[in-house]
Every structure is written in C-alpha cells, then in structure tokens.
Amino acid sequence: MKNFVHLHVHSHYSLLDGLGKIPDLVSRAKEMGMDTLALTDHGVMYGAIEFYQECKKQDIKPIIGVEIYVSPRKMTDKEPGIDKTPYHLVLLAQNEAGYLNLLKITTAAHLEGYYYKPRVDKAYLKKHSEGLIATTACLGGEIPSHAKNGNIKAAEDALLEYLEIFDKDHFYLELQDHPKIPEQKKANKILIHLAEKHGIGLIATNDVHYINKDDAEAQDVLLCIQTGKFLSDTNRMSMTAGGEFIDISFRSPEEMIETFKETPEAITNTVKIAESCNLEIELGKFKFPPFPLPEGETYETYLRKLIDERLPKVVDVVTPEMKERIDYEFGVIKDKGYLGYFLIVQDFFHWAKEHEIPTNTRGSAAGCCVSFALGITAPKLNPLDFNLPFERFLNPFRPSAPDIDIDIADSGRDDLIAYVTEKYGADRVAQICTFGTMAAKAAIRDVARVLGFPYDFGDYLSKLIPLSTQTHYIGIKDSINLVAELKSKYETDPDTRRTLDLAARLEGCARHASVHAAGIVIAPEEITNFTPLMRDNKGGRIVTQYEMHAVGEDGVGLIKMDFLGLANLTIIQNVLKIIKKTRNIDLNLDDIPIDDPKAFELLARGETIGVFQLESEGMRKYIKELKPTTIFDIMAMVALYRPGPMAFIPEYIMRKRNPARIKYLDPRMEKILKNSLGLIVYQDDVLMIAIELAGYNWQEVDKFRKAIGKKIVKEMSAQKEKFFSQIIERGMKEEIAIDLWTQIETFAGYGFNKSHAASYGLVAYQTAYLKSHFPSEYMAALLTSEQARDLDKVAFALQETKRMNIAVLPPDVNKSFVDFGVIPETWEISYALASIKNVGKQSAETIVEERKTNGLFKDFPDFLQRLGGKVLNKKIIEALAQAGALDSLIERNRVLVNIDIILKSISDQNKAAANQMGLFGETALPKAELHLIDVPPADKKQKLTWEKELLGMYVSEHPLEGLERLLMQAGTPIITLKEKKKDDQVTIAGMITMAKKITTKKGDPMLFAQIEDQTGKIEAVVFPRVLEKDQDKWVADKIVVVKGRISDKDGQINLIASSINILDEDQKIVETAEPTRLLIHLSKDATREKLAEVKEILANYPGELAVILKVAQNGGFTEVQTKAKVMRDYTMLQKLKDLLPNGKIIFD
C-alpha cells in the first residue's frame, strides 16, 4: 500500500462546492500510484456506489465515508441563531456494519435533523458508531473550531465527549496544512498537544475539493454559482485567504509526506486506517420484495392461476397459438426467477383498474402475452394480433431483468404510490433521486454571469454550442472544434477564452438533486439497509440518495418501478367522468371498436389538437396527408415522427395512397413488414429480419442491435460481415442484401420499439375516439389538464374549442363546476371555479356542493347566507367578483366597493347563527341584510384586466378582439413562432402585458416584455441599445408591432427585439370594419394539389364568410366564388399563407 492515503475527499456531489468528478478523482489516485481512496462528501452519500464501482474498475480500494454535520444540541432542536451552524465530522466505514450505520446516520440527518444542513446529534452517533472511524474534519469541526480560537479546555471537553462515542482506535485528530490561514497553524498545535496527552492518533488530510491546483479558480466560480455572487464580490464565501487561493487540490503523496514531515505519524496513520477499512458491497444482484400469497399457493401456482382466470376475459377464444406462447413465456419467466416480479406488477395494475385510474405500459412489455393475460397491458393489445415479439422484452439469453414501465393518469400517481407504500411498508418504499448537471450551455451562462459579463455575452456564446441529442452530447471542447465562429472567438478574445475554459471545467458537475419523474424502489426489508434517504425539499417526499443506476439492478439491486404520470391518461379519466355526468353512459375504453370511422375521419382532417402524440403542427400536416384508416397507421406515425425516421414519412404516405408501391426486398419479409406497408419502421423489424432471414438467435441479435444502434464502427463492421454471410447463405441475393443493409444502417440508430409504438398508438386512437364522439366533454377535460400545467396551452385549447364551435362560458357560481365542465342542455363548457386565483379547489367544491344540495343561488344575499359560514372570506369574494363568477347575482364593482359591509354582514350572520345554535340547536343561518352603496359598474377594460389577473387569460373576450385583421396584416401570429428556427427574423403584433426593467452589470437599463396576441404570448428581450431608442413605447397595455429575431434560450422560444412601433390609432379604426369575405389571390404557381390542400384547410374552419378565389385569366384576374364559408380565424389565415407564400390572402 502507498505510504499515504487521502481520507478527506469531496467530489462534485458536494453540490456546487466540490469540483472533481468521480472517475477523474479515482484516475488521479491511480496516476499517483495510490491504491486506496476515500470519498467523504458533505452530508450526503450521493456518489458512494458510483465511487465504489469506479474504484473496483480501476483496481483501487474504496473507502466509503461522509463528512457529516453534528448539531450543537439535539438534532431536533431548530432554534434560529443557536442551531443554524453545526460542526463537521468525517466518518469512514470500516466494514459492512459501518456502512449500514452510515446509511442510517445520513438518513436520520435528512429526515429528522435537517435545519439548513442535514444534522445528527452525538446521542444518535453513539447508537450507530459500530464499524466507523471518525476524524475531526476541517476548522469547521467541533474540536478544531475550539482549537483555532485557542480554547484548549473546550476542545478537550469536546474530545472527551467523542471518546465516549468512539474508542481511541476509532477516533483521530485531523491535521491540515494551509499556511495562508493562521488559525489552521494554531489549531494544529493544540490538536497535536491533545493527541499526545490522550494517546489519540493524528491524521493528515487536504480536504480535497478539486483535483489540480489550477482548478482553484473554477471551484471559486462554483461557490459563486451556489451563493448567487459575482467573482468580484469581496464579502462572499470563498476558499481564499489574504487574497490567495487555499490549496485544497488532490496533492500527491510525496507532497503530503513532505508537508507533514514534523508529524510523520499523521501520514502513517492514513495507511493504518486504510488497511482497517475493508468494505464489500454486494452489487448487481436483484433483491425482490416478498409478494404476499394466499394460503397454500406458491409463486408458480398463483401466477398460473391468475393467468388462467384472466385470459378468457381479454380474448374470445384461447387459441392453441396463444396457449403455446403463454406456456413458453411462463417457462422463461420461471427459469429466470421473475415470477414474483410479475405478481408484484400485476397487483398494482389490477389495483389501478379497480380504482378506475387509467394506465398504459411503455417499452417492450406489450410484447408479452403473460402481461396481456394478467391485465398489465391493454386488452386491445393482443401481442399476436400486433406481431409483437416477447423476446424483445425477455429471452433466455438476456442477463438483465424485465422492465415494465407504467404510465398512469398523473392525478392517480400519488394514490398508486400510497397503495404500494401501504402494501409493502413505508420503511421499504421510496422515490428515486436524480441529478441536474451543468450542461455546456448552462455552464457558459453561469460562468459569464459570475465573471460579471453582460447577459447578452453569455447568451451569445451559449447559442454557439450545437444542440445535443439524446444519444450524442456535444460539449464545450467539441463545440470549439466544430463551430468556426466559436473557435475564432476563443482564439482571439480573452474574455471568451476565460469563460469557456472555466465553463469546461464545471461542465458535467451535479448542480442539484431532485426527484426522478417516475422511479420508485421497493426493498425486501428496511430500505435504509440498502440506500440512504432524504426528503424532497419541494414536496416533502421520501427519496433515495442513490440515483437510479446506483439503487437499481446495476447497483444495490432494489426493484425499481417506473410510475410516470401522464396528463393524457388523466384527460381520458376526466372525459369518462364527464360523460357519465352529462349522458349517464358508463364508457369503457376496452370495449370501443378499434376501427371507428368517426375517429379516423377526425384524424384525416388533422383535427388532432389535444390528441395524444398527434397534436404538433408538423404531425397534423402529415396525419392529414396520410388519412389513416388503421391503428397500424397511427403506430407508424408515432414511430416515424422523430428526427431521422421522419424522412420515411412521405414514402409511407405514398404507399398508403397507392398500394402498388408496396414491395418487399424478399418475400419472407412480408410477414414482418406487412402492417408497415413494406417499410422498416421499428427496431423490432430489423431484429426480426436478422432472426428470420439471417439466422441470428436472440443473444446474437441483442449484440447486433447494440452495435448498429450505437453506430460502433468496429462492431458494425463485424456484424455486417456476419449478417451478409448468413443472409446470403440462407437464400438472399447479394445485391438485395446490400440494399437491405443500407436501409438497416440508415435506420437502425433511430429505430423505435414496436411494442412502445403500439401502446402509445392505442392511447392516441382512444383520445381521437373520445374527441370525435364527445367533443365538449373532451375539450373540458383537456382545458382542466392544461390549466394545471401551462396557461399558454390553455389559450391554445380555447382557440381549438372556438374552432369546434363550442362556447366556453366565463365562470359562474350558478353554472360552473370545480373543474371545467359541460352544460348538457347546450353542450357549452363552463369555466372551472377552482381555476380562479385565490379561490382554490376546496372552496370551489363547497360552492358546487351547496348548489347541488340546495339549488341555484337566488341572489347575492342568498349566496352569502348559504356559504358565509363555510368558505367565504375577503380574498375569495373579491376573486369571484373580479372573475365574473358573481355576475348573475351582483355587479362586480359593487362587490369590491362594498366589501367591508359584506364582510360585516357575514360576521353578524355567523354570530346570529352561533346564538341560534346555542338556544335551539339549529344551524340555519338568517338571511343577510345588505345595504350596499350604489357605484358605477366596472368598465370593459377593467373587467378584462381582472379576468387576466384572476383567470390567467381573457375568457369573455380579448382586448384585441376586432383587431384580428389588422394584427394579421402587421405580423405573424405568436403561436406559429414555435415552428420558426433560431435567428429567423420575424415581426409580431400584439399587446404588451408586462414590461420589467432591469439594470445590467454595466449599469445600463434593459427590459423584458411579455407580448400577447389571441393565439399566445412570447417574452421579448430588449437590450439597452434598442430600449434607448423607444423607452416610451415599451409600456404595458400598448398595442405594438415588434421586429426581432428568434432565440431559443434553454429550449424556451423568445424574441430578441430590434425595433418597436405603436399600432396607428387611425389605422385601427379603419381596419376594424367587419370583413364579409376571405379573398385568396392565387399566384401562377398554384397547383391542383395545392388547391386541394386549400380546400382541406377551409373545411376545418366553417363559418359565415364567403371565400373568393382571385385567379389569373387573359392577362388579368377574375374572381371566382366558391361554395365554402369560413369563420374569421387568423390561424387559418396563417396556414393558407404558409401554403401559398406567393399568393395574397386577406379578409376583405
């Protein structure tokens, strides 16, 4: 063993403090000839498993540790000013007992002792000290803290306390060498004295926070990011003394030995400790929780019993083919030891179904007939009908466990987690953590800000970084080589070079911990025997400190379940509830036909806004061209509409329109590709071709899939040779094999899982079915879903509702429901009461329940009498009035001006009710007597302002109503900007709804403005030079025309403004005259196909305006009146303009 070991080391999992990534730390130890290394992050064990695995990989002995925080009093004491600053203490696990105690200690620190930091107290440490070695840490440790202040007695008292927790062989006084900190030298002297007096060992450490000495500035920048400071700020947290960096790098053994030559035992003791630490953690082996069985059953008998009971419920006839397939699958599942896993999974799917919570599966699980029989996958997804292979999910050669990922209505996800927690025990279930890391673009912006550069400097540099894909990340160093403009700036501009160099050092560091969107784990016993826990700081949920790879099959082996909340399944759930209320129909989607003409007609018209997977602008275009007629068409579109495979969509459409184009390179491929019209659409197609035509088995084809999917050149070459040899040997001509290989090579990296496409295609079809048959109910459910997530999408959904000629009524306490609902008499949609700001769900439920129980509210006093003692307060009454929800009872302004009188009336009413209850035991409230002051009613502008504030949007009408024609002529609808590319020059017209000024680092004013039209809103960034020219125009409520370029900061579309003009008032008066027709001025290049598309667009917007075509004729133009009648809709107008860019299209 090397003669020094680093025992106090922080990785980047000491968030925004440590800089070193674990592979780099371990590699550095290896380079220095060290054979042992410890990891001791601040208060967490995030990196413990990754560190353990990396050390094993590089033949380094790992020591798992933590630098914990010890509370000055009890860990439950959380008094401001007293308990805010805990002491540091380093703990190292000697063995399994010590490791298990570390898990318990860090868990308790987070779940019980958290107060600014995760803390434990000495009493808890004493109970969990077995197998641990403790060292006194840095100057933040209790003993060094007293020592640096020269308080020998306090330091000695603290030492004696710790010696009651740890014996002398397991407790060490830690020396560090930082000559620039005088207190360190003072502390070291006292620590050496105490060691000699009490016979305690010394150790030397360097409190490693980064690897190389020249990383010091990057680590300082990291601290600035953590604290929100600038590097130039003098009063901030930093690892400096006297204006110079403290060396907390990964110093070499030779340097440490030389530094501590006066106390050689502090060096040799690091080796002594390392030799005593021998922890082995069992990894890579699944640890399934036990599934409770009925008496007398085994896993095998009970799972078989469930299959036999449930299969006849999902198929009309159990065919010999189905029986044979299930017997085969069951055998594989049994031999692989996964019977218990299937029992666990089927149980929570069954529970969700019993509680009417829609579910779906992702990935390859839909190819399993056992899953189908058990009700895990949908009854409409018979793997035999869809030609879905089981072996893609699980096969005898596959080393990894099956993975059944569940999509669940997001409204029911917490209920399902609660069920699993109750069934297996709260001490055995937790959600999984994940880490947000500093990617290239974000790192550059952060560093530029910390260095004090203007916003647009960091923004400009970050935008020069190419976009990464899921399979290919492009970092800062790669970008410098790839992007000429970035390379030039890097080589010529010192500020750019400094920013990029520092950002590259920070790139990839963990920035924050959060909760994985889907993952939970279930342990076979107390979960803290496998992973430490913490609490989600947003929702208070219990979360593992180990991320998904560390906690799952590749790590400590806990069974991981993915419960992904899917909004579209909640929409489905809500639609079914509304249908029951409005039509008294108990609709079961398992019973609907899979070939409904009305659903496919809706798809053929491209009316797929709100339809799962099919609602984007590009998808709507392709769906209209395709005119799907089968579920297989929907599956294909789900699979193909992505970068890469999208190039195959036109060919698929042509084959759909002209079946004569469907050809197979080899007749044997027909059974594989028949439902995809002869095209390779899914990754499964490639695999089945390799198996059926080239003689691969599933073990070989899995290697084949990985090689072509990851485009590994060496492996691709080997696979190509094998593929050609075997497929030609089995009867394919060489030239055809070459053609086939070219298709496979082009497609394979983007291949989509067929079972996944089938599952998602079915949900897409179901949503199309519901929208086509129950339009009002569907749009009400969609609006409820969007309201909870994204107000911009609500505006989009409202626009679609309008296009469908479904009215959305403003909120009304006599008509509205808790959520968006449907009024059966008119099929109008009522605005959700719970969506009014300051009202909330509970108050809305009380209002609706009272109305249901005792009838409509007759007048405002009646409303107050019936609800005054239950939910009404000043905020709620004002919100209801301003939103218009009381319009049927009283004028808005009258409520607001008289609010004090109203509140007094409610108070008097409540007192009278209390007295009456005391005298007669009755609770009926006396009718409120109101003597309100008469005031002028609120004007239209004020009402709309309130609506926007309380509802987040305009519902009764839009302030820009009547200006559609003018706005369309002045600029591009905001909703269409998402289709634009970065740096495209655009002009928009709308109203400024928010203008916020800020000051740049240089002291110049700049502004962020929100601009809105009737289709959506966008943020405009107004830099100082642009703002300086037109400050008086950038004001809220002004209707403006803004020019600029598209920006996509962190994937968020915004507008970098270059100019602004106020819409001319006189022009407004002239232009707002009601149009009577839509005039389409056709250019000479308008083809018959284009005209057919024009006709389709017009058909989607039925209304009262005549449609006139202006056609070139005899050197002039003639007007032709069509049979079409359309509404005045600016989205339709923009679609026509996009289709006919050389024509002129106006409302006239």
Q: What is the pLDDT of residues 661-686, one digit of tens each?
A: 999 999 999 999 999 999 999 989 99
Distances (CA, A) of 1142 to 575, 967, 1097, 1113, 1145: 43, 20, 17, 17, 10
| Calpha distance 814→118 (Å, rounded) | 51
pLDDT value for 760: 96
Nearest to 511 by CA among 461, 439, 459, 433: 439
Judge whether 64 and 48 are in contact, CB under 8 Å.
yes
Q: 268 falls in which pLDDT band (50, 70, 90)?
A: very high
pLDDT value for 651: 93
Nearest to 1075 by CA among 1122, 1121, 1128: 1128
Q: Which residue has the higher pLDDT, 114 or 1141?
A: 114
Q: Is the per-residue pLDDT at 502 higher than 70?
A: yes
Q: CA 515 from chain center: how many Å?
A: 10
**Cα angle value 956/961/967 (rounded, 5°):** 150
Instruction: Print burial letters for 714-753: b (CB count within 10 Å at least 16), e (below 16).
Output: eebeebeebbbebbeeeebeeeebeebbebbeebbebbbb
pLDDT value for 154: 96
pLDDT value for 1116: 62
Judge whether 236 and 225 are in contact, CB under 8 Å.
no
The structure tokens listed for 480 are: 């410098």
| Calpha distance 750→719 (Å, rounded) | 18
pLDDT value for 1001: 65
Highest mean pLDDT pick, 187-201, 729-743, 928-942: 187-201
Q: What is the pLDDT of residues 871-922, one digit of tens each?
A: 889 999 999 999 999 999 999 999 999 999 999 888 887 777 666 554 445 4
For residue 399, give every residue at least 6 positions away whose Cβ sits within 8 Å of its Cβ, in sequence order, or none.
Answer: none
Over range 475-494, report the average pLDDT. Answer: 92
Q: Which residue has the higher pLDDT, 743 or 795?
A: 743
- Residue with structure tokens 């028949």? 674
Q: Is the per-residue pLDDT at 1002 higher than 80?
A: no
Distances (CA, A) of 632 to 606, 689, 764, 1135: 17, 19, 12, 28
pLDDT value for 1115: 60
Percent of the chain past pLDDT 70, that is, above it, reads 95
Q: Is the per-residue pLDDT at 797 higher than 80?
A: yes
Q: Is the per-residue pLDDT at 614 higher than 50?
A: yes
What are φ and ψ of residue 680, in 5° steps? -75, 110
The structure tokens listed for 23 are: 């592979």
Over range 739-743, report the average pLDDT. Answer: 88
Q: Is the per-residue pLDDT at 1094 higher than 70?
A: yes
The amino acid that residue 479 corresponds to is S
Over range 1073-1102, report the average pLDDT. Answer: 79
Judge whether 561 and 430 are in contact, CB under 8 Å.
no
Coil, strand or helix: which one is 336? Answer: helix
- Tell me the Cα Rg of the chain: 34
Q: 696 falls in which pLDDT band (50, 70, 90)?
A: very high
Q: What is the pLDDT of residues 364-404, one digit of tens each?
A: 999 999 999 999 999 999 999 999 999 999 998 888 888 89
Q: What is the pLDDT of residues 428-444, one digit of tens each?
A: 999 999 999 999 999 99
Q: Is the per-residue pLDDT at 924 higher than 80?
A: no
Over range 719-739, report the average pLDDT. Answer: 91
| Calpha distance 336→514 (Å, rounded) | 34
Q: Is the per-residue pLDDT at 844 higher than 70?
A: yes
Q: Where does residue 626 fall: left (phi above 0), alpha (psi -120 to 50 degrees), or beta otherwise?
A: alpha
| Calpha distance 1071→1062 (Å, rounded) | 15
pLDDT value for 612: 96
Q: What's the distance, Cα to Cα, between the start and end of the chain in Å?
A: 88
| Calpha distance 607→120 (Å, rounded) | 59
pLDDT value for 883: 93
- Residue with structure tokens 């039209």? 1013
| Calpha distance 640→637 (Å, rounded) | 5
Coil, strand or helix: which one is 857? Answer: coil
Q: Where does residue 1047 fall: left (phi above 0), alpha (psi -120 to 50 degrees), or beta otherwise?
A: beta
Alpha helices in 892-987 (DSSP H): 892-897, 899-920, 940-951, 964-970
DSSP letter at 658 equals -
pLDDT value for 669: 95
Report yes or no on whether pTM surpasses 0.85.
Answer: no
Nearest to 71 by CA among 53, 84, 81: 84
Nearest to 372 by CA among 307, 416, 316, 302: 307
What average pLDDT does the structure give for the chain?
90
For residue 523, give every residue at least 6 positions away whose Cβ sits within 8 Å of its Cβ, in sequence order, or none.
Answer: 287, 289, 424, 428, 429, 529, 530, 558
Long-range pairs for 51-54: beta carbons < 8 A, 24 or more residues apart: 51/11, 51/22, 51/25, 51/26, 52/281, 52/283, 53/283, 53/555, 54/22, 54/23, 54/26
Coil, strand or helix: which one is 655? Answer: helix
| Calpha distance 520→943 (Å, rounded) | 47
Over range 697-710, report the average pLDDT. Answer: 83
pLDDT value for 402: 86
The amino acid that residue 258 corresponds to is E
The structure tokens listed for 1023 are: 């830099």
The structure tokens listed for 590 are: 């398992």
Judge whether 476 and 470 are in contact, CB under 8 Å.
no
Q: Is the per-residue pLDDT at 962 higher than 90?
A: no
Judge whether 284 and 557 are in contact, CB under 8 Å.
yes
Q: What is the pLDDT of residues 550-561, one digit of tens each?
A: 999 899 999 999
Cα atoms found within 13 Å of the Cα of residue 865, Cβ hemisphere only:
16
Please spell the DSSP secondary structure of 41-94, one letter per residue. Answer: EES--TTHHHHHHHHHHTT-EEEEEEEEEE-SS-TT---TTTSSSPEEEEEEE-
Q: Which residues pair with 1112 in a beta bridge?
A: 1117
The structure tokens listed for 823 are: 């009024």
Q: Which residue has the higher pLDDT, 470 or 878?
A: 878
Nearest to 457 by CA among 510, 508, 494, 507: 494
Over range 207-213, report the average pLDDT. Answer: 96
The structure tokens listed for 349 are: 């799917």
| Domain annotation for the chain: domains and CATH numbers | 22-276 (3.20.20.140), 299-434+515-567 (no CATH), 439-507 (1.10.10.1600), 662-751 (no CATH), 774-951 (no CATH), 964-1071 (2.40.50.140), 1077-1147 (no CATH)
Please spell the DSSP secondary structure of 744-793, one letter per residue. Answer: HHHHGGG-B-HHHHHHHHHHHHHHHHHHHH-HHHHHHHHHHHHHHH-HHH
Q: Is the per-residue pLDDT at 328 higher than 90?
A: yes
| Calpha distance 334→371 (Å, rounded) | 14
Q: Among 4-13, 619-628, 1092-1101, which stretch is predicted with the lowest mean pLDDT?
A: 1092-1101
DSSP letter at 401 equals P
Length of the chain, in residues: 1148
| Calpha distance 478→900 (Å, rounded) | 66
Using a 10 angstrom Cβ sphere, with 0-12 exposed, 13-18 middle and 19 or more buried, the burial of residue 140 is middle
Walk across the sheet containing 1102-1113 and list its strands.
1116-1126, 1102-1113, 1077-1081, 1144-1147
| Calpha distance 351→331 (Å, rounded) | 26
Nearest to 210 by CA among 584, 509, 603: 509
For residue 414, give every residue at least 6 positions away whose Cβ sits within 8 Å of its Cβ, in sequence order, or none.
Answer: none
Over range 739-748, report the average pLDDT. Answer: 81
Coil, strand or helix: which one is 148? Answer: helix
